[in-house]
């Protein structure tokens, strides 16, 4: 049993060491300083914008007399905002 614990401990130490080493990136791949401030990321959406889009969709659905579910996703397919109108079947 002690042998198993020793092997497990060595494995855990090796995993933490490789994780720490993987998180250090060469400076040629890291953008910082003034260059980082100038980057405009137009591929993400914040919560406030997602809520405004959902409200607009719901307003259009009310004008058409239907109830809808609205899902706002990011580029990776992750949910940013979800809303379901009352009365939806």
First and final C-alpha spacing in the chain: 58
Instruction: Note whether residue 9 is domain-resident.
Output: no
- H or E stretch covering 72: strand 69-73
Structural domain includes residue 18: no
Tallying the residues shown for the chain, one arrives at 89
Indicate yes or no: pTM above 0.85.
Answer: no
- Which residue segment(s) compose the domain that 62 sits in? 38-89
Residue 70 inside a domain? The answer is: yes
Q: Is 1 within a domain?
A: no
Q: For the segment 66-88, what is each residue's pLDDT rounded down to a tens digit?
A: 999 999 988 888 888 999 988 77
Task: Summarize pLDDT for 50-69 with one digit per residue, the tens.
Answer: 999 999 999 999 999 999 99
- Which whole number is the average pLDDT over 27-39? 74
Total structural domains in the chain? 1
């Amino acid at each position: 049993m002690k042998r198993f614990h020793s092997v497990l401990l060595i494995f855990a130490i090796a995993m933490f060491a490789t994780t720490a080493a993987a998180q250090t990136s060469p400076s040629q791949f890291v953008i910082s300083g003034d260059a980082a401030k100038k980057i405009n990321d137009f591929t993400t959406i914040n919560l406030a914008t997602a809520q405004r889009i959902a409200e607009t969709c719901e307003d259009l659905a009310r004008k058409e007399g239907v109830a809808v579910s609205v899902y706002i996703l990011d580029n990776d397919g992750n949910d940013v905002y979800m809303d379901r109108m009352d009365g939806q079947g």
